[in-house]
Homo-oligomer: A and B are copies of this chain.
Amino acid sequence: MSLSIKDVAQRAGCSIATVSRVLAGKGYISEEARQKVEAAVKELGYRPNRVARSLRAQKSRVIGLILSDICNPFFSEISRAVERVAIRHGYSVLICNTDEDPQKEAHYLKLLEEEKVAGILLSPTRASAKSLDPALLPPLVLFDRKFPTVHLDSVVIDNEEAAQKLTRTLLDGGYRKIAGLFGAKSFTASGRIAGFKAAFAGMEDRMHGIYQAPAFEEEGNRLMKEVLKQEPAPDAVVCSSALLATGAYRALRENGLRMPADMGFACFDDPAWAGFVEPPVTVIRQPATAIGEAAAELLMKRIDDPARPVSEIGLRGELIERGSSRRG
């Protein structure tokens, strides 16, 4: 049985209200009472029960972070940033992983509401647009993805612009038939596909095609091999995520294609290996830390003031041009 405020009160010779006031640091407290309480707390090693606090306050000092894939470095970098900001504001973070499964997402949203978290950070799946009712939920901030229809706090990068920039780099690099590999269930895919298409304005014949698969390494590998079998085969590839890219890149190797001569390559995210394979890979680096920080800060503001106007923060991906996107 752990200690309660009652034990402290008894030890300090005062009422529980006084103890609570000392601990909270608000209301009138005499210097004498303060000292006695502080001494008692120290002697007993008392620590408050957050569950009781949460019940009384009707919300906890925890925020929920719902990720679509915790093994994706982009998201783990975000987690770390979020956590840092949360701690600074006196919150802790409940991290939940959906694997892009709308059912798991719904489960977690329910759970977090039941846990009375103070707020939620969410990278929504496509399906959640309809089911999500912000009125029933704690303060909510979207990141990485947002709904075109529902107006909510969000932090995203401009996927269309980034994809266009990435694709144009390959076009400028002299490639003639460019294939695009995109996530299948992913929310961001549509923006990136749009940017990919837009890059070909006036030279539509240089687009090889748009291909989609679930965002896993193995799927990227499989899809890439399939695309390579086509006639004509592409002479360059854009990948919309690190995971797809890792699998696709491996497929190119396995097929003995030489870059950048036989094949151009560029992808989203900046996987660890992109810098040191030969040739190094041109990428769009997403500012994951900045996204996480911005989203967390936004959530803090939303928690403090539920009535404040909605903000939609846009960040840009950074193009890092390396050897894989320029022929010869």
Contact = CB atoms under 8 A, between A and B. Distances in A.
Interface of A: 47-52, 54-55, 60, 62, 70-71, 73, 76-77, 79-80, 83, 92-97, 99, 108, 110-111, 113-116, 217, 246, 249-250, 253-254, 271-273, 275-278
Contacts of A111: 50, 92
18 contacts: A48-B114, A50-B114, A51-B54, A52-B55, A55-B55, A62-B94, A62-B115, A71-B80, A73-B73, A76-B76, A79-B95, A92-B94, A94-B95, A95-B95, A253-B278, A271-B273, A272-B273, A277-B277
Contacts of A217: 272
Given A47-B110, A92-B111, A217-B272, 13 more contacts: A50-B114, A51-B55, A55-B55, A79-B97, A80-B99, A92-B108, A93-B94, A93-B96, A249-B276, A250-B276, A253-B276, A271-B273, A272-B272
Interface of A is mostly: helix
Nearest to A60: B51
Nearest to A99: B80
A23 B272 CA distance: 50
A50 B116 contact: yes
Contacts of A54: 51
Contacts of A52: 55
A83 B51 CA distance: 22
